[in-house]
Amino acid sequence: MKSITILALILTTVQLSAQIQIDSADILTDIGTSWITLSYNDSINVSLGDSGGPHTWDFTSLASQLNDTSFYNLIDPLTSPLYDSFPDANLVRFRTNQNISDSVFEYINITSTFYRLLGIQQNSNALMGMVRIDSSTIYFPFSYGHSSSIYTFDTIIDNPDTFITVEMTRDMLVDGYGNVIISQGSYPCLRVFSHSTIHLSGYIVVVVPIPINITFSEYEYNWITESQPDLITITSLENETNPNFTVAGKVEMFQEYSSEINEFPIELTSEQINIVQEDNLYFLDLYNLSPSILKIYDLTGREIDQNSIEGTGRIYLELDQSGIYFVSIENYNMNIIEKINFLK
């Protein structure tokens, strides 16, 4: 019995000490892959643990405090909304959030030797912002001790009422390895530490132009493993000065894979547009809408319909098959996307 106990201890120690490395084959890339995360977007007490390794980071106690749901889906780059702006993207990650009316597209170029974030599109209510990333190459294999940086300077909103530029620097270091324990189980992992500084400048017109000049920074820890979504991400409060902070501004944890993106309640998308559901039929109610382009995408990101719309009235959204669809309305000063679940 004693020899068996010693053998078990040796095997456990070897498993904990093993350092994994992330290669291109370990990144999720299959179109249609979907997963769900839970998060908490306010001040929350955390214990980050130590750098180096091997370590065991146990975050199961945080799970009961996470009350916000996000849905991720990998969509076809060729039919994504901004493919023309990012033609080198061969991976697009789409995220929607349950309690915050926004959506995010990440445009990525991945090869056998590197992972490169090309740009981000974020839609929030009636505003759309797009950021091109100037420098963001992460080379494979990605392992303990690896470091990388992201830098960009770009105009994210440019219309008659709003002009905003962003300058962002993000330095990353794989500073730890071991096992992470979350509600879904225990995984061998790498811990990625990053520090970001973001500067926003420009103006927004209310009655007169109001200047914008904001700088903030944040720390972030991200636990990653092979062939899985990011396991857990812990982000500091803005302008935190201690990298070993004990109060986080956000915690997001992988929950489960999903066969579809769950439906959120339909909300007012802007003062000029409202999506209405009646007897499981969907309509667009327009209120003095400027000339716009209506596009409808299926769950894979394939465009299935496009029309010009404007003015005041009701438009029937003609859908042939049951499924999840994305409705996009674009004009010179807005780009909004809403998701609907159609059952025929």
- Is 47 contained in some domain? yes
* Domain termination site, one of 257, 286, 304: 257
Check which CATH number belongs to the domain holding 186 and give it: 2.40.360
Q: State the Cα–Cα distance between residues 208 and 61, nearest whole angstrom.
A: 49
Q: Summarize pLDDT for 228-241 with one digit per residue, the tens.
A: 999 999 999 999 99
Together in a domain, 231 and 319 = no
Residue 7 pLDDT: 39
Q: State the Cα–Cα distance between residues 142 and 26, nearest whole angstrom.
A: 10
- Is 14 contained in some domain? no
Q: State the Cα–Cα distance between residues 13 and 299, nearest whole angstrom.
A: 44
Together in a domain, 133 and 252 = yes
Together in a domain, 126 and 184 = yes
Together in a domain, 42 and 163 = yes
Together in a domain, 288 and 141 = no
The two tokens of residue 76 are 């076809």
Q: State the Cα–Cα distance between residues 49 and 47, nearest whole angstrom.
A: 6
Check which CATH number belongs to the domain holding 338 and give it: 2.60.40.3080
Q: Summarize pLDDT for 25-75 with one digit per residue, the tens.
A: 999 999 889 999 999 989 999 999 999 999 999 999 999 999 888 889 898
- Is 10 contained in some domain? no
- Is 31 contained in some domain? yes
Together in a domain, 122 and 243 = yes
- Is 97 contained in some domain? yes
* Domain termination site, one of 222, 257, 292: 257
- Domain containing residue 292: 273-342
* Domain termination site, one of 257, 284, 301: 257
Together in a domain, 84 and 215 = yes
Tell me how many degrees the CA angle 17-21-27 measures, rounded to the nearest 5: 135
Residue 186 pLDDT: 96
